[in-house]
Amino acid sequence: MVFRTLFVIDLLAAAVALGMFVWGLMDGTVDGRNLGQWALLLGGIAALMGGAWWLRGIGRQRQALAALAILAIPTIGAVVALVILIFTTPRWN
Protein backbone atom coordinates (compact mmCIF):
# COMPACT_ATOMS: atom_id res chain seq x y z
CA MET A 1 0.00 0.00 0.00
CA VAL A 2 2.78 2.44 0.88
CA PHE A 3 4.68 1.54 -2.28
CA ARG A 4 1.67 2.26 -4.45
CA THR A 5 1.01 5.57 -2.71
CA LEU A 6 4.59 6.75 -3.11
CA PHE A 7 4.65 5.50 -6.69
CA VAL A 8 1.51 7.48 -7.56
CA ILE A 9 2.98 10.61 -5.95
CA ASP A 10 6.18 10.13 -7.97
CA LEU A 11 4.11 9.50 -11.09
CA LEU A 12 2.27 12.79 -10.59
CA ALA A 13 5.57 14.62 -10.04
CA ALA A 14 6.95 13.03 -13.22
CA ALA A 15 3.82 14.11 -15.12
CA VAL A 16 4.29 17.69 -13.93
CA ALA A 17 7.96 17.67 -14.95
CA LEU A 18 7.11 16.18 -18.34
CA GLY A 19 4.32 18.71 -18.82
CA MET A 20 6.68 21.57 -18.04
CA PHE A 21 9.18 20.13 -20.52
CA VAL A 22 6.59 19.91 -23.29
CA TRP A 23 5.32 23.41 -22.47
CA GLY A 24 8.88 24.69 -22.66
CA LEU A 25 9.37 23.04 -26.03
CA MET A 26 6.24 24.73 -27.32
CA ASP A 27 7.08 28.23 -26.08
CA GLY A 28 10.78 28.02 -26.88
CA THR A 29 12.24 28.16 -23.38
CA VAL A 30 13.63 24.64 -23.77
CA ASP A 31 16.28 24.78 -26.44
CA GLY A 32 19.74 23.45 -27.18
CA ARG A 33 21.32 25.29 -24.27
CA ASN A 34 19.29 23.57 -21.56
CA LEU A 35 18.12 20.40 -23.28
CA GLY A 36 20.84 18.40 -21.53
CA GLN A 37 19.64 19.56 -18.12
CA TRP A 38 16.10 18.55 -18.97
CA ALA A 39 17.31 15.17 -20.21
CA LEU A 40 19.15 14.60 -16.92
CA LEU A 41 16.11 15.65 -14.88
CA LEU A 42 13.62 13.50 -16.76
CA GLY A 43 16.06 10.60 -17.04
CA GLY A 44 16.78 10.76 -13.32
CA ILE A 45 13.09 10.65 -12.48
CA ALA A 46 12.58 7.70 -14.83
CA ALA A 47 15.62 5.88 -13.40
CA LEU A 48 14.40 6.44 -9.84
CA MET A 49 10.95 5.08 -10.58
CA GLY A 50 12.22 2.21 -12.72
CA GLY A 51 14.82 1.32 -10.12
CA ALA A 52 12.21 1.29 -7.37
CA TRP A 53 9.97 -0.95 -9.48
CA TRP A 54 12.91 -3.29 -10.13
CA LEU A 55 13.91 -3.34 -6.45
CA ARG A 56 10.38 -4.24 -5.45
CA GLY A 57 10.36 -6.98 -8.06
CA ILE A 58 13.43 -8.65 -6.59
CA GLY A 59 12.07 -8.47 -3.06
CA ARG A 60 13.86 -5.41 -1.70
CA GLN A 61 10.83 -3.52 -0.43
CA ARG A 62 12.68 -1.14 1.94
CA GLN A 63 15.16 -0.03 -0.70
CA ALA A 64 12.32 0.48 -3.18
CA LEU A 65 10.45 2.65 -0.67
CA ALA A 66 13.61 4.65 0.02
CA ALA A 67 14.13 5.24 -3.71
CA LEU A 68 10.55 6.43 -4.15
CA ALA A 69 10.79 8.64 -1.06
CA ILE A 70 13.65 10.60 -2.65
CA LEU A 71 11.15 12.24 -5.00
CA ALA A 72 7.91 11.81 -3.02
CA ILE A 73 8.93 13.66 0.16
CA PRO A 74 9.90 16.95 -1.57
CA THR A 75 6.78 16.67 -3.72
CA ILE A 76 4.55 16.30 -0.67
CA GLY A 77 6.33 19.26 0.96
CA ALA A 78 5.80 21.45 -2.10
CA VAL A 79 2.11 20.54 -2.27
CA VAL A 80 1.63 21.26 1.44
CA ALA A 81 3.38 24.63 1.08
CA LEU A 82 1.24 25.49 -1.94
CA VAL A 83 -1.97 24.58 -0.10
CA ILE A 84 -0.92 26.68 2.90
CA LEU A 85 -0.21 29.64 0.62
CA ILE A 86 -3.56 29.27 -1.10
CA PHE A 87 -5.65 29.05 2.06
CA THR A 88 -3.82 31.56 4.29
CA THR A 89 -3.67 34.28 1.63
CA PRO A 90 -0.54 35.97 2.95
CA ARG A 91 0.15 39.65 2.40
CA TRP A 92 3.22 40.00 0.20
CA ASN A 93 3.81 43.74 0.64
User: Which pLDDT band, with edges at 50, 70 and 90, does 92 fall under?
Assistant: confident
Q: What is the pLDDT of residues 30-52, one digit of tens each?
A: 998 999 999 999 999 999 999 99
Residue 93: pLDDT over 80: no
For residue 11, CA distances in Å to 3, 6, 39, 58 come to: 12, 8, 17, 21
Sign, CA dihedral 30-31-32-34, equals: negative
Cα–Cα dist 32/23, whole Å: 15
Cα–Cα dist 40/34, whole Å: 10
Q: Determine the longest span between alpha carbons in the chain, in angstroms.
A: 54
Question: Which pTM was predicted?
Answer: 0.87
